[in-house]
């Protein structure tokens, strides 16, 4: 039996919400399950799920720790360590216990989405490892110092500030989707195109979608 996105989310949504994560239905990313939360230090911790292409029942998750919720964005000066699977944050002893293996080199582990004990183990691993990202002072400083992460955050902040009044502006749009995408109202895409144009940012359909999604997710989390 093939593990679907709907089946996987049904398994993990409630326990991840207990850990403070907010579920977003099909955001604009390659994740097959998208959860995010804001940390006490003002940064965001996003967890994206991936279903295996080779083992139909298996899945894994990857953390993304940054100033934004743009899961997996680790280009330019954004530290690569911001995007990591939990096995890479565990000790050899922990991997032996949670992965039930003597293979000390096994880091990229996949869980069975149809096995309740396997799903429970995944949740335990997420709870065990997540703090190792935001308690890493060096990594946090690299993120704080990233010019690209700061630029993306500033763009999202400006979108959140302007979105309520965007319809009042006389502006011609060229890169909007044909309709709302995954529950994100059209005004978020309009505001994103306006902000990118204003700052001479890279402007195309994908950059507008990515900024709109990031700003929408951040706004939703911030206003809970």
Cα(first)–Cα(last) distance of the chain, in Å? 37
When pLDDT is cut at 50, 70 and 90, the band that residue 181 belongs to is confident
pLDDT band for 90, please (50, 70, 90 cuts): very high
H helices, E strands: number in the chain: 8, 6
CA distance to 34, 114, 167, per residue, from 155 (Å): 21, 40, 18
pLDDT given at position 172? 95
Structure tokens at 52: 């295996």
DSSP state at residue 75: -
Among 28-32, 40-44, 83-87, where is mean pLDDT lowest? Answer: 28-32
DSSP letter for each residue of 12-74:
HHHHHHHTT-EEESS-SSS-SSEEEEE-TTS-EEEEEEEE-SSSTTEEEEEEEEESS--TT--
The tokens describing 12, both together, are 């993990």
Report percent pLDDT > 70 for the chain. 99
Mean pLDDT of 50-66: 95
Task: Answer whether 24's CB lies under 8 Å from 36's CB.
Answer: yes
Predicted confidence (pLDDT) at residue 28 exceeds the cutoff of 80: no
Mean pLDDT of the chain: 95
- Enter the tokens of residue 84: 């990591």
Verdict on whether the full-model pTM lies above 0.75: yes
131-169 pLDDT, tens digit per residue, is 999 999 999 999 999 999 999 999 999 999 999 999 999
Residue pair 133/89 in contact by the 8 Å Cβ criterion: yes
Greater pLDDT, 30 or 117? 117
Mean pLDDT within 27-36: 88
Q: Quote the radius of gyration of the chain (alpha carbons, Å).
A: 18
Dist CA 114 CA 38 (whole Å): 30
Name the band, by pLDDT with cuts 50, 70 and 90, for residue 202. very high
pLDDT score of 30: 85
Q: How many CB atoms lie within 10 A of CB 129?
A: 19
Residue 154 to residue 209: CA distance in whole angstroms: 16
Highest mean pLDDT: which range of 28-37, 152-161, 170-179: 152-161
Closest CA to 217 of 26, 76, 72, 87: 26
Averaged pLDDT, 90-106: 90
The confidence score (pLDDT) of residue 102 equals 84
According to DSSP, residue 181 is labeled B
**pLDDT of the residue at 115:** 96
Q: Is the pLDDT of residue 101 over 90?
A: no
Whether residue 104 has pLDDT greater than 90: no
């Amino acid at each position: 039996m093939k593990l679907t996105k709907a089946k996987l989310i049904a398994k993990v949504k409630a326990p991840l919400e207990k850990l403070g994560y907010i579920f977003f239905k099909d955001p604009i990313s390659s994740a097959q399950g998208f959860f995010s939360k804001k940390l006490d230090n003002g940064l965001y911790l996003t967890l994206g799920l991936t279903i295996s292409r080779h083992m139909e029942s298996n899945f894994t998750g990857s953390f993304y720790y940054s100033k934004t919720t743009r899961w997996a964005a680790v280009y330019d000066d954004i530290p690569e360590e911001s995007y990591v699977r939990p096995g890479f944050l565990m000790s050899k002893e922990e991997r032996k216990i949670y992965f039930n293996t003597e293979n000390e080199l096994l880091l990229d582990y996949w869980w069975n989405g149809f096995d309740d004990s396997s799903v429970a183990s995944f949740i335990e691993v997420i709870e065990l490892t997540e703090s190792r990202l935001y308690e890493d002072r060096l990594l946090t400083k690299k993120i704080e110092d990233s010019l690209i992460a700061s630029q993306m955050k500033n763009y999202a902040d400006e979108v959140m500030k302007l979105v309520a009044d965007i319809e009042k502006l006389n502006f011609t749009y060229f890169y909007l989707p044909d309709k709302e995408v995954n529950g994100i109202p059209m005004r978020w895409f309009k505001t994103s195109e306006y902000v990118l144009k204003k700052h001479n940012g890279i402007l195309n359909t994908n950059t507008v979608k990515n900024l709109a999604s990031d700003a929408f997710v951040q706004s939703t989390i911030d206003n809970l």
